[in-house]
Amino acid sequence: MKIDVLNCVNGQSGFVRLVKSTGNDLDIVRAARVSYDADWRTGEDEGADRKLIRYLLKNHHTSPFEHVTFTFEVKAPIFVIRQWHRHRTWSYNEISARYTELDEGYYVPRVEHITTQHTDNKQMRTMIQHPEAESIQNMIDHSCISSFAVYRNLIATGAPRELARGVLPLNAYSRMFATVDLHNFMGFIRLRLHSHSQYEIRVYAEAMSKLVAEQVPVTMGAFFELLEKK
Ligand SMILES: Cc1cc2nc3c(=O)[nH]c(=O)nc-3n(C[C@H](O)[C@H](O)[C@H](O)COP(=O)(O)OP(=O)(O)OC[C@H]3O[C@@H](n4cnc5c(N)ncnc54)[C@H](O)[C@@H]3O)c2cc1C
């Protein structure tokens, strides 16, 4: 249950792996039906379950979705992990560059993703390819190569890892375990699949949506249907 993302020019890619999940669509309807003390159900009436899940999502009855949880292993550039950590309802454990030397992995964007800076929306890039995309790509690559060379030199001279890591770029790959319930997962997806989100985190949101849809197909189907209608 692993999807590679950000296949970049130097052969380095990130990934997202579904390590474990608890619960399914039926757990959501069971939790919801406790509200009105309905019979314990075994999933024999899928039509009613689908309708209920859609109703819950549409009317923001969110708590039943908290009974389903997911743990992901994520390998992503540090700048993506930093955006991710703003989602406070997730639980995280990240590799420590104090404990261990980071490997040589870093992200270099593909030429087709190197566009120009947006002028209206200051946080975004445009869809127009930069005329010097290839040279920008080279500059990013070379800058990362030299940062990692300095990092290795510092470690070789006995500098502490916790200080040596300070020269590494935001493009360096890091790894984390991240656990979330389905309600807060959907909150993440709503924000991070949005066109205003950065491409490099959107691809993780897309990959996780596929993994989660296999566990809770009815909920994710209804979620995307309602999202498209907005
Ligand atoms: C396109 C985009 C651009 C962004 N730009 C920036 C930026 O420039 N700088 C920056 O710092 N961040 C930025 N963010 C991060 C953003 O401000 C949120 O921190 C992030 O999206 C997490 O959203 P969240 O708070 O809804 O998620 P979570 O932290 O998972 O929280 C989920 C929900 O729980 C509730 N909640 C959680 N914690 C609290 C709390 N302490 N108090 C009250 N309610 C709480 C809220 O209802 C919240 O919506 C950006 C996000 C996006 C999507």
Unique residue bearing structure tokens 């959907």: 186
- At residue 44 the predicted structure's pLDDT band, cuts being 50, 70 and 90, is low
* Nearest atom of ligand 1 to the alpha carbon of 191: 53
- At residue 120 the predicted structure's pLDDT band, cuts being 50, 70 and 90, is confident
Ligand 1 centroid – CA 117 distance (Å): 24
Ligand 1 centroid – CA 87 distance (Å): 6
The phi and psi torsions of 200 (rounded to 5 degrees) equal -70, -20
How much is the pLDDT for 176?
Answer: 97
pLDDT tens string 215-228: 999 999 999 999 99
229 lines ligand 1 (CB under 6 A): no
How much is the pLDDT for 111?
Answer: 93
Residue nearest to atom 41 of ligand 1 (CA): 88
SS3 content of the chain, % helix, strand, coil (to 5): 50, 20, 35
Return d(Cα 198, Cα 104) in angstroms, integer: 24
pLDDT tens string 4-35: 999 777 778 999 999 999 999 999 998 998 86
- At residue 94 the predicted structure's pLDDT band, cuts being 50, 70 and 90, is very high
Residue nearest to atom 33 of ligand 1 (CA): 89
> Residue 127: is its pLDDT beyond 80?
yes
* Nearest atom of ligand 1 to the alpha carbon of 197: 1
Q: What is the mean pLDDT of the chain?
A: 93
Return d(Cα 177, Cα 173) in angstroms, integer: 14
**Residue from 173, 160, 149, 180 nearest 70 by CA:** 180
* Active site amino acids: 192
Please name the residues in contact with 60: beta carbons below 8 A apart, sequence gap of 6 or more: none
The bridge status of strand 173-181 relative to strand 115-117 is unpaired
User: Is the pTM above the cut of 0.85?
Assistant: yes
Residue nearest to atom 6 of ligand 1 (CA): 83
How much is the pLDDT for 43?
Answer: 58
Unique residue bearing structure tokens 């993440």: 188
